[in-house]
Amino acid sequence: MKFTPEKCSIEDQKMKPFIDPDEIWNYINNTVSTKEKVREIIEKSLSKQRLTLEETAVLINATNPELIEEIKQGARKLKETVYGNRIVLFAPLYVGNKCTNNCKYCGFRASNKEAIRKTLSDQELIEEVEALEDTGQKRLILVYGEHPAYSPEYIAHTVNLVYGVKKGQGEIRRVNINAAPLDIDGFRTVKDSNVGTYQVFQETYNPEAYKLYHLGGKKADYEYRLTSLDRAQEAGLDDVGIGALFGLYDWRFEVMGLVRHTNHLEACYNVGPHTISFPRIQSASVLDMNDKYIVSNEDFVKLVAILRLAVPYTGMILTARENAAVRDEVIRFGVSQIDGGTKLELGSYSHSKNEEQDLNKEQFAINDNRSLNEIIEDLIEKDYIPSFCTACYRLGRTGEHFMEFSVPGFIKRYCTPNAILTLAEYLSDYAPGETADKGWALIERHILLIDNENTINELRNRVERIKAGDRDLYF
């Protein structure tokens, strides 16, 4: 598939900055949002086309509660009709919190002398992964501060280490990364370790605001960060995740920035981001922030729905920064991945204590402390299929998020059956009795919804093989 480039004020060039704040503000300030326009734009998105900056601004400017409700329902419909009702689960694993940067919002910043610094030793990392495997996790995102100790070689080493840990029936089948931007060679080194998605969040797309929050270290260079995922593409690492930290600047600008980043990657590399993240700022050790741009729950739901509609082919990630009630609400409007059983303190998966969160040991506070199993049970009760699927990635079907979106019948043939198979593994190996009962009933219900007899038969056959002890079966 070839993306049609969108004409923007700055011509898209590889590894060159592309954000023009005046252009973004112009759209936000001068775009009129009428009922007809909003409905037309929702229809465009439901026909699986990415929205332009102007169309995104129309949705942003819709303030009438009835129209906002239509935007939310549009996002919900897109999610249901295009993606079905799987939710992919993962866990973050903090590898090291040394950091030479001074991001005002982050507990790990260099000037925070209260922070307790730590990098996991290889043995500690292995123990963390074993503890995560014991709960049933199959997908991790490794997180690092920005520090010379966390070189591309070191990152690649930790990724390889994680893939090598097998405990009982457990293994990690996909390792994603959230770390500092690298140069092209650095991205190449990390790519060779078979990494999944490489996430770099721009934090704020507004260059002036960016300057205020990033007071030193390499991260103070806005343009180097903005072009980081171009360098990943140049290195052949085409599976990238973008994000903005909501609460630093006007949320409307950040939504436009994320869409502009998406159309830049499409224009230069004919590939959009694999995932979009939209973390909201949380309290952190010695937080140095004011609350001018704090995003209300109401706006948060609206912005997630707009992002879903604006970039219909991308995975959307919602983390345990948000509490269970917000997650429940937001998940309906387009989220495809959530973390479960999350702990941010280094080493805390293997040495779990029933202590209060200690912000001097964590990057920021989390608000959803449920275990992975509690989250899985909750999803099952709401008729979502919890999934640990990694099939496409391992079969070399890269760009899978795009296939599931664009290939008719892909979800029914591959995604739903694979979600069911990975859930069957979880139920067999890790779920307590009550969760298992609910999970097997969900599997039966969803098998009956598949309309192809061959798929049903083959799926039933594989579920039985999993019950009998086979593992890692996928379509």
Q: Can you give the binding site for ligand SAM, defined by CB under 6 A?
A: 105-106, 143-146, 178-180, 200-201, 203, 245, 279, 281-282, 284, 321, 363-364
339 bridge partner residues: 90
- The one-letter code for the residue type at 381 is E
Nearer residue to ligand SF4 within complex by CB, 45 or 101 = 101
CB of 252 to ligand SF4, least distance (A): 23
At 171, is the secondary structure helix, strand, or coil? strand
Taking CB within 5 to 8 Å according to partner kind, which of ligand SAM, ligand SF4, none is near residue 6? none
Taking CB within 5 to 8 Å according to partner kind, which of ligand SF4, ligand SAM, none is near residue 430? none
Nearer residue to ligand SAM within complex by CB, 238 or 322 = 322
CB of 279 to ligand SF4, least distance (A): 10
Residue from 37, 79, 109, 446 touching ligand SF4 (CB under 6 A): that is: 109
Instruction: Using alpha carbons, select from 127, 136, 98, 139 the residue that is nearest to residue 348.
Output: 127
Nearer residue to ligand SAM within complex by CB, 13 or 283 = 283
Straight-line distance from the first to the last Cα atom of the chain, in angstroms, rounded to the nearest whole number: 23
What sign does the CA torsion over 83, 136, 377, 327 have? negative
- The one-letter code for the residue type at 383 is D
Question: Which residues ranging from 196 to 225 are in contact with ligand SF4 (CB under 6 A)?
Answer: 219
Taking CB within 5 to 8 Å according to partner kind, which of ligand SAM, ligand SF4, none is near residue 109? ligand SF4
Q: Which residue carries 């079907």 as its tokens?
A: 397
Nearer residue to ligand SAM within complex by CB, 45 or 119 = 119
Contact string (CB under 6 A) for ligand SF4, positions 229-258, x = contact: ------------------------------
Nearer residue to ligand SF4 within complex by CB, 37 or 225 = 225
Non-local (6+) Cβ contacts of 257 within 8 A are: 19, 24, 202, 204, 205, 206, 244
CB of 219 to ligand SF4, least distance (A): 5
Six token digits for residue 398: 């890269």
DSSP letters for 343-354: --STTTTTS---
Nearer residue to ligand SF4 within complex by CB, 104 or 167 = 104
Residue from 71, 99, 320, 466 touching ligand SF4 (CB under 6 A): that is: 99
Six token digits for residue 305: 């729905």
Residue from 42, 82, 106, 244 touching ligand SF4 (CB under 6 A): that is: 106
Non-local (6+) Cβ contacts of 458 within 8 A are: 417, 475
Question: Which residues ranging from 426 to 455 are in contact with ligand SF4 (CB under 6 A)?
Answer: none
Q: Which residue carries 């040991």 as its tokens?
A: 361
Residue from 6, 12, 133, 146 touching ligand SF4 (CB under 6 A): that is: 146
CB of 287 to ligand SF4, least distance (A): 12
103 lies in the site for ligand SF4, by CB under 6 A: yes
145 lies in the site for ligand SF4, by CB under 6 A: yes
CB of 251 to ligand SF4, least distance (A): 19
Non-local (6+) Cβ contacts of 48 within 8 A are: 82, 312, 313, 405, 406
Nearer residue to ligand SF4 within complex by CB, 218 or 412 = 218
Taking CB within 5 to 8 Å according to partner kind, which of ligand SAM, ligand SF4, none is near residue 179? ligand SAM
Give the whole-angstrom CA distance, residue 273 versus residue 406. 15
Give the whole-angstrom CA distance, residue 411 versus residue 400. 10
What sign does the CA torsion over 397, 402, 407, 413 have? positive
- CB of 261 within 8 A of CB of 276? no
Nearer residue to ligand SAM within complex by CB, 174 or 214 = 214
Residue from 101, 176, 282, 455 touching ligand SF4 (CB under 6 A): that is: 101
Among the listed ranges 73-81, 101-109, 319-327, 389-397, the one in contact with ligand SF4 (CB under 6 A) is 101-109
Which pairing describes strands 337-339 and 86-96: parallel, antiparallel, or unpaired? parallel
Strands (E), 137-265: 139-144, 166-167, 170-171, 174-178, 198-199, 240-243
User: What are the residues binding ligand SF4 (CB under 6 A)?
Assistant: 99, 101, 103, 106, 108-109, 145-146, 219
